[in-house]
Amino acid sequence: MSTNLFDLSGKTALITGATHGLGMAMAIGLGNAGATLVINGASSQEKLNNALAEYKALGLKAHAYLFDVTDEKQVIENIAKIEKEVGQIDILVNNAGIIKRTPLEDMEVADFEQVIKVDLVSPFIVSKHVVKGMIARKEGKIINICSMMTELGRNTVGAYAAAKGGLKMLTKNMATEWAKHNIQVNGIGPGYFATSQTAPIRVDGHPFNDFIVGRTPAGRWGDPDDLQGAAIFLSAKASNFVNGQIVYVDGGILATIGKPSNES
């Protein structure tokens, strides 16, 4: 198979929430495949600048823009700036997200609404304004970052599960409406990954660590770099007839109900 099917040279990718963690890992993968990166964050200019320095230290072509993806006015203004200062957006990765771990019976309505706004409404807002250029050019790739909670429930993450389940159907409907413009819209559903946030529980003997390792057919946590292949594939020519799909990068969790306790 020709390697140019996965070559992103000459493409510009906007990755939201890419100052750390899985968003940064996917962005690095796209950059190593040749894409020019546009990194978004909303927490602080300092954090954004530090992330940009990390990308550039890796030799990647990267730019950074501070804006809130839930604020349509800011999104419109910054997309216009990106298109003027960097160029057209060929690839959009809607990665920005939050989670609030609270039992549903105790959760404040405002907190539930905030999770929905960040995790579900913001991909709609950003996609709505990026896709207009893609429609005009008759070409584009949009990747929505879903979750295990797109398919499964779990205690204390009801708002997150509702948002990520909705994001699956938003992805399918985006594909339904925009495929005729040669735009491919798909999702990636990460499993459980080894990040700085999960470090305290990724130790032998910790109940959740033992649960994840035992529940995952691959027998391990995912490495953030494990997401790069899926991100590159869904951003490249190789996926030009793939539309409306959610690719779960989970070590096989969704393929099984898990091992009985008496299995090795």
Q: Which amino acid is at 80?
A: A
- Which tokens go with 121? 């409404």
Question: Active site includes 55?
Answer: no
Considering 55, 160, 192, 248, which one is annotated as catalytic? 160
Alpha carbon distance 164, 254 (integer Å): 15
Dihedral sign for Cα 256, 170, 17, 4, please.
positive
Alpha carbon distance 192, 190 (integer Å): 7
Alpha carbon distance 216, 222 (integer Å): 10
Tally of residues, the chain: 264
Q: Which amino acid is at 36?
A: T
Place of tokens 């409907």: 173
17: which residues sit within 8 A by CB, 6+ positions away?
Answer: 23, 40, 41, 42, 69, 95, 96, 97
Residues serving a catalytic function are 160
